[in-house]
Chains A and B, each alone.
Chain A
Amino acid sequence: MYPKKSSTLLRDWDLWGPLVLCVSLALMLQGGSADSKEDGGPQFAEVFVIIWFGAVVITLNSKLLGGTISFFQSLCVLGYCVLPLTVAMLVCRLVLLAGSGTVSFIIRLIVVIAMFAWSTLASTAFLADSQPPHRKALVVYPIFLFYFVISWMILTFTPQ
């Protein structure tokens, strides 16, 4: 979570946390479009699939670049670092309850950007360590893209 480098945390990986976070984020992102009756199911599944597919791609990429981290450790880290974005989603929903206008958009934008930066930095701190030093940028970029897409989904969420 916090950008601390701790190898013991990495050794005790588990996938429960990421699963819970992913499910709660997918639930909160549900129903954000015109046809809420038909969209409940597919939308949840899409968010779920995108998060896990993205995490797998980033993990494969870091392994292919010569990383020393294992598959599930990396999945675990990426999953837990979705927490700031889940918090951002919660805040966005609360702000949207108050009304949707330019001010609320600016607040949501700031919150989402801050949480996105935190997520990226946190996961970079764990994953970049397992790479040879001159290749950190190559691993950071896909992480940046992944959290950017999730942040985009959160920011463009409009409840019906």
Chain B
Amino acid sequence: DRDKAQAVCQDLILHDGCRQASKAFSLYANIDILRPYFDVEPVQVRTRLLESMVPVKMINFPQKIAGELYGPLMLVFTLVAILLHGMKTSDTIIREGTLMGTAIGTCFGYWLGVSSFIYFLAYLCNAQITMVQMLSLLGYGLFGHCITLLVTYNIHFHSLFYIFWLVVGGLSTLRMVAVLVSRTVGHTQRLILCGTLAALHMLFLLYLHFAYHKVVEGILDTLEGPNMPPFQRVARDIPVVSNAVLNTTAKANALTL
């Protein structure tokens, strides 16, 4: 009888252990959900990078978008690295911690946030695009941003930046817009969707070039708070000395100043 109870107990423990282990394993194995989105060859990535700068002409026929996440993810990380490099070449003395957090937050926030927003708009405008495709499209659109920032962080000419902004930024925006237009029906919807995307994409590049330095410095200013300046003029108690000593000291200091 006791043996039976023991056997039942052992069984229970074994089953419980198995269940817990399989739960933990399935959580880890959920990574397999993302696996098909990373199934890509280097040649394909290269082709897609180049294609992201070429606006398509056929907008009456829904253009194919590859739902792949490797390229976009790498482009976002590259953008973060370029932003950090830009900070170094602009010689801004910044705490690297806040800088890194801001860079990562900005880039990922843009990629995920704007993708979600445009996906929501696309849902409202009856455009045929899935979330992964939108993430992929916007991610590859960041390739133009990467090139522009890489060049203009090293060659500091405002006019050069504007040319790059218009040409490179414009090309990648046109491509995204053309693909979206090909998948949307109706003029108003096309206008809303593409206008929003174009505006956000171009403004983001502008923002990254100009406001980023100021944004980070602004964050630092608010974080540092009422900072004591290194040179502090505090009223101190002057020991009682004779006037003569004071006068000669003042005169000597005035001479040296």
Contacts and interface: CB of A to CB of B under 8 A. Distances in A.
A35 B224 contact: yes
Interface string A23-61: 000000100111100110011011100100000010011
B187 interface: no
Nearest to A71: B28
A43 B42 contact: no
Interface string B68-87: 00100110011011001100
Interface in A67-110: none
A46 B40 contact: no
Q: Do most interface residues of chain B lie in helix, strand or loop, or is the interface mixed?
A: helix
A75 to B, nearest CB: 14
A5 to B, nearest CB: 21
B96 A153 contact: yes
A43 B70 CA distance: 30
A64 B32 CA distance: 7
Contact of A149 (B40, B81, B97): B81
Interface residues of B, number: 30
Interface in B28-59: 31, 34-35, 37-42, 45
B95 A35 contact: yes
Given A43-B95, A142-B74, A152 B88 contact: yes
Contacts of A50: 100
Nearest to B36: A64
A15 interface: no
Contacts of B78: 145
Nearest to A149: B81
Interface residues of A, number: 34
A65 B70 CA distance: 9
A138 B45 contact: yes
Contact of B42 (A29, A57, A137, A152): A137
A47 to B, nearest CB: 8
Given A63-B31, A142-B74, A156-B88, A46 B96 contact: yes
A135 B101 contact: no
Contacts of B254: none
B81 A32 contact: no
A64 B93 contact: no
Interface of B: 31, 34-35, 37-42, 45, 70, 73-74, 77-78, 80-81, 84-85, 88, 93-98, 100-101, 224, 227
8 interchain residue pairs of minimum CB distance:
A46-B97, A64-B38, A137-B42, A33-B95, A42-B97, A156-B88, A43-B97, A65-B38
29 contacts: A29-B96, A33-B96, A34-B93, A39-B97, A42-B95, A45-B97, A46-B97, A50-B100, A61-B70, A63-B31, A64-B31, A64-B35, A64-B37, A64-B38, A65-B38, A65-B70, A66-B38, A66-B39, A135-B42, A137-B42, A141-B74, A142-B77, A145-B74, A145-B78, A145-B81, A149-B81, A149-B84, A152-B85, A155-B88
